[in-house]
Amino acid sequence: MLLLTRRQTIFAAIAASLAGHTAFAQSAPAKVRIALDWTPNTNHIGIYVAKAKGFYEAAGLDVEILPFTDTSAGTLVSNGVADFGISSEIETLTQRAGGGDVKMVYGVVQTETARLIFKGGRDDIKSPKDLDGKTYGGFGGTWESALISAMIRNDGGKGDVKTVTLGTSAYEALDNGSIDFTLEIYTWEGIAAELENRKIGRFHYSDYGIPDEQTTVIVSSDAYLSANREHARAFIQATRKGYAYSVDHPDEACDLLISGSNGALMNAELVKASQKALIEGHFLKSEAGVIGTLDPAKAEALGGFLLENGILVDANGAALKEKPDFSTYYTNELLD
């Protein structure tokens, strides 16, 4: 009887040990990778806040912020290198039309933050039609020429410009007169120009017939979402909590972004001024209190514009002839 009791005790101890290991395995955080579209900036602030404040950890997630590379975040997501990525609404629409497995799951901003810009003080540029024949410093996007040409034509011009691809050096080229105009994200490059007292002229896309867009979005893939629905939901909701916190506690949020950037952000004045612009302009949170939600009307209008201008092409590079179902290009379900 004593021997049986000892055996029972041993077996009970083993069972308890195995149960402990099982419980540990079940509680281990799920690994999630998000790719940035650029070096850390205030467009990413909610992610850094959610990580630093423990929102991801509380949701059972171990989130890795992948460093910016020359490969677009949407491409990394489509190929399974990242689970989520920071992208733009235009880029997502074009990538998915071309067969990329990429879908918008969170609207970082609620309205357009991009602007067409030129050096301030030029008497020869009063409106977009004055850009005809001038030189544009671009970033290599297939949609850029269509957007610029449409703005010029809608203002009464021909839409004929010279284009050179420069990337971020476009801003230096604008300052030294090598190009006549380029594009910016007002809430970052625009704020930097203001802090440096550089005179910049700006045209809003939507003032010249371009549909308003949610410039910055978070994307995932159908493959990841179907296999990891609950992890995806947990990530997006914790991320929204991070962005909401950044609106309510901007100074702390900026400090967390700076400290989490591993030295990539050194200009605290720019970070805080940028966050102020995002908040006061109701970009991160609309006047109605909307945060994170993707607007179906914006996706439909922007998609239609890209289709009409031959920007949406299939995997073989042929322009789409029929309008795709843009409702499959995004989802708000993870916010519920």
Helix (H) or strand (E) holding 272: helix 268-280
Question: What is the distance between the alpha carbons of residues 167 and 144, in angstroms, rounded to a whole number?
Answer: 12
Alpha-carbon distances, residue 121 vs 117, 134, 225 (angstroms): 12, 16, 50
Q: What residue spans define the domains of the chain?
A: 30-112+214-328, 121-208
Nearest in space to 56 (alpha carbons), one of 232, 296, 309, 267: 232
pLDDT in tens, the chain (336 residues): 444 444 444 444 444 444 444 444 456 999 999 999 999 999 999 999 999 999 999 999 999 999 898 899 999 999 999 999 999 999 999 999 999 999 999 999 999 999 999 999 999 999 999 999 999 999 888 789 999 999 999 999 999 999 999 977 899 999 999 999 999 999 999 999 999 999 999 999 999 999 999 999 999 999 999 999 999 999 999 999 999 999 999 999 999 999 999 999 999 999 999 999 999 999 999 999 999 999 999 999 999 999 999 999 999 999 999 999 999 999 999 998
**Same fold: 30-112+214-328 with 121-208:** yes
- Provide the angle, in degrees to the nearest 10, between the axes of the packed helices 229-248 and 250-260: 120
Whose tokens are 């490969």? That residue is 71
Question: What is the distance between the alpha carbons of residues 206 and 305, in angstroms, rounded to a whole number?
Answer: 12
Alpha-carbon distances, residue 42 vs 54, 205, 225 (angstroms): 19, 22, 26
Is domain 30-112+214-328 classified as CATH 3.40.250.10? no
DSSP helix/strand/coil, 55: helix
Cβ atoms within 10 A of the Cβ of 148, count?
Answer: 25
Q: For residue 107, which phi and psi values (nearest 5 degrees)?
A: -95, 105
Amino acid identity, residue 265? Answer: L
Report the sign of the C-alpha dihedral through residues 80, 82, 88, 89, in that order.
positive
Which homologous superfamily is 121-208 in?
Periplasmic binding protein-like II (3.40.190.10)
pLDDT in tens, 5-39: 444 444 444 444 444 444 444 569 999 999 999 99
pTM: 0.90
What's the DSSP call for residue 127?
S
Cβ atoms within 10 A of the Cβ of 28, count?
Answer: 10
Read off the tokens for 7: 């055996």
Read off the tokens for 21: 């290991």
